[in-house]
């Protein structure tokens, strides 16, 4: 076979992509972020949300510097215990739980469960008698890139009823929780739910209860494509709203950051497998996609910053994944800028991809292996 036709640009002839994709996880960077967040919220216990990235070494190093954990299933409880956590320091924040999961977690020593309905309160009272409960309030989710729908949370009036019922059922009605939505860009969004929480505390005390713990949730952002406020801005806003709502007698507080700790510590390293012009539009195909960790690009909700091994002038392109599922397209409505010169074999690094990637990966759709993690 001889041909004088020009060949498409390509960096190396054989298998340049065999080692990608993978998530490069900088564990010390996540630990630094934990320390920064803890410093921005003095007096607040920081519970890393295991769901964001359950990598064992990450959990162990976070535990070693004093992180507590937020869990949502027995498997996550075990991961936290394996990392060195004490079960009584865990918050089990899934408001609607499998009954067998509650039983199993209580047997492992978990004491603090979040609920948001009378039905769940009864379930916890049966499956984990005498444990502590927080009642979750609904929030608007405004200002969040990955908002929370109406799936969880109740009104302040309902919360008072839930806490009263919990007390009647022999549970410890410990307090209130809420969540302002993941990747929350507006520190002021903690204001309204903190005020609502203070109302619940007041009404609950009028009913003879003794709430004392407020779970301020997660939502602390990673740096995707358009920046975000520093952690100190979040700490300042939260302290101010706590003082406004509770005066000089604030409750004990905890937070549940996931993305805010691990998001910026991870880079998804992928390779270009093809660059194709389609009807005047450049399509760049990567060896990582929606089914290998990038689910949060659905609806183009989370926009990762990109870095490449190619350079020179850039132009717009659609970014697509490797499986032959048509849904495996990352950015199309709002195209990304990548070097004109980009070619097969070049690396594309998706920055701030430490959260909700490796754990969101499919079991191997289309025969593409789940996303591997390499820690450093």
Contacts of a copy of itself in 61-90 (CB under 8 A): 71-77, 79
Mask 154-193, x = binds a copy of itself (CB under 8 A)?
xx---------x--xxx----------xx-----------
Binding flag, residue 369, a copy of itself (CB under 8 A): yes
Cβ 96 to a copy of itself, closest distance in Å?
A: 4
Please identify, among the stretches 50-58, 186-194, 225-233, 244-252, the one whose residues bind a copy of itself according to the rule CB under 8 A. Answer: 50-58
Residues 118-157 that bind a copy of itself (CB under 8 A): 118-120, 122-123, 125-126, 129-130, 138, 141, 146-152, 154-155
- Rule CB under 8 A: choose which of 88, 107, 325, 337 binds a copy of itself: 325
State the minimum distance, in angstroms, from the CB of residue 136 to a copy of itself.
10
Q: Is 330 in the site for a copy of itself (CB under 8 A)?
A: no
Residue numbers 202-231 binding a copy of itself by CB under 8 A: none
Nearer to a copy of itself, 98 or 240 (CB): 98
Residue 55 as a binder of a copy of itself (CB under 8 A): the answer is no
Choose which of 142, 232, 314, 332 interacts with a copy of itself (CB under 8 A): 332
Using omega within 30 degrees of 0 as the cis cutoff, is the peptide bond preceding 21 cis?
Answer: yes
Residue 234 is a binding residue for a copy of itself (CB under 8 A): no
Among 43, 223, 364, 374, binds a copy of itself (CB under 8 A): 364
How far is 337 from 340, CA to CA, in rounded Å? 9
Q: Which two tokens stand for residue 17?
A: 């992509």
The residue written with tokens 């004088």 in the block is: 4
Closer of 142 and 232 to a copy of itself (Cβ): 142
Contacts of a copy of itself in 335-354 (CB under 8 A):
344-345
Residue closer to a copy of itself by CB (options 175, 218) is: 218
How far apart (Å, rounded) are the C-alpha atoms in residues 191 and 173?
23
Three-state SS for 309-326 is CCCCCEEEEEEECCCCCC
Strand ranges for 50-157 from DSSP E: 68-71, 91-92, 112-115, 132-136, 144-146
Which residue reads 């690009």 in tokens?
297
- Which is nearer to a copy of itself, 38 or 138 (by Cβ)? 138
C-alpha–C-alpha distance, residues 307 and 110, integer Å: 42
Candidates 26-34, 201-209, 242-250, 359-367: pick the segment binding a copy of itself (CB under 8 A).
359-367
Number of Cβ within 10 Å of residue 8's Cβ equals 10
Nearer to a copy of itself, 158 or 236 (CB): 158
23-47 burial by CB neighbour count: b if 16+ within 10 A, else e?
Answer: bbbbbebbbebbebbbebbeebbbb
The answer for residues whose C-beta is within 8 angstroms of residue 357's C-beta and 6 or more apart is: 23, 53, 266, 268, 293, 294, 296, 371
Q: Please report how close the Cβ of residue 357 comes to a copy of itself at its closest, in angstroms.
A: 11
When binding is defined by CB under 8 A, the residue of 82, 88, 100, 337 that contacts a copy of itself is 100
C-beta closer to a copy of itself: residue 122 or 349: 122
The CA distance from 74 to 302, in Å, is: 28
Interaction of residue 195 with a copy of itself, rule CB under 8 A: no
**Does residue 51 interact with a copy of itself by CB under 8 A?**
yes
Q: What are phi and psi of 107, to 5 degrees?
A: -65, -30
CB 300 → a copy of itself: shortest distance, Å? 13
- The span from the CA of 127 to the CA of 157, in Å, is 25
Whether the CA torsion 214, 215, 221, 222 is positive or negative: it is positive
CA 63 to chain centre: 18
The H-or-E segment that residue 8 falls in is none
Contact positions with a copy of itself (CB under 8 A) in 241-300: 273-279, 281, 283, 285, 287, 291, 298
Output the smallest distance, CB 32 to a copy of itself, in A. 26
Report the distance separating Cα 64 and Cα 30, nearest Å: 13
213 strand-pairing partners: 175, 252
Decide: is 362 part of the binding site for a copy of itself (CB under 8 A).
yes
Among 135, 183, 134, 182, CA closest to 159? 135
């Amino acid at each position: 076979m001889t041909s004088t036709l020009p060949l498409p640009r390509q960096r190396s002839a054989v298998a340049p992509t065999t080692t990608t994709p993978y998530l490069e996880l900088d564990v010390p960077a996540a630990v630094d972020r934990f320390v920064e967040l803890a410093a921005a919220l003095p007096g607040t216990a920081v519970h890393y949300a295991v769901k964001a990235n359950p990598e064992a070494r990450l959990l162990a190093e976070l535990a070693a510097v004093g992180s507590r954990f937020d869990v949502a299933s027995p498997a996550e409880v075990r991961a936290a215990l394996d990392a060195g956590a004490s079960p009584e320091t865990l918050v089990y924040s899934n408001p609607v739980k499998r009954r067998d999961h509650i039983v199993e977690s209580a047997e492992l020593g978990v004491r603090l469960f979040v609920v948001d309905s009378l039905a769940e309160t009864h379930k916890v009272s049966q499956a984990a008698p005498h444990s502590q409960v927080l009642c979750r309030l609904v929030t608007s989710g405004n200002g969040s890139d990955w908002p929370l729908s109406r799936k969880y949370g109740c009104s302040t009036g309902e919360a008072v009823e839930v806490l009263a019922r919990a007390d009647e059922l022999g549970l410890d009605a410990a307090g209130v929780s809420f969540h302002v939505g993941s990747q929350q860009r507006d520190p002021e969004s903690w204001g309204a739910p903190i005020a609502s929480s203070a109302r619940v505390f007041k009404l609950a005390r009028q009913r003879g209860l003794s709430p004392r713990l407020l779970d301020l949730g997660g939502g602390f952002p990673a740096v995707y494509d358009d920046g975000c406020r520093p952690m100190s801005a979040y700490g300042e806003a939260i302290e101010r709203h706590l003082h406004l709502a509770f005066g000089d007698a604030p409750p004990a507080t905890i937070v549940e950051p996931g993305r805010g700790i691990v998001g910026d510590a991870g880079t998804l390293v992928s390779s270009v497998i093809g660059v194709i012009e389609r009807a005047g539009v450049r399509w760049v195909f990567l060896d990582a996609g929606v089914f290998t960790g990038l689910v949060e690009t659905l609806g183009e909700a989370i926009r990762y910053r990109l870095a490449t091994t190619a350079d020179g002038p850039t132009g717009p392109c659609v970014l697509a994944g490797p499986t032959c599922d048509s849904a495996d397209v990352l950015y199309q409505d709002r195209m990304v800028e990548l070097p004109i010169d980009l070619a097969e074999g070049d690396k594309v690094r998706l920055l701030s991809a430490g959260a909700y990637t490796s754990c969101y990966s499919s079991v191997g759709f289309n025969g593409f292996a789940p996303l591997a993690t390499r820690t450093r």
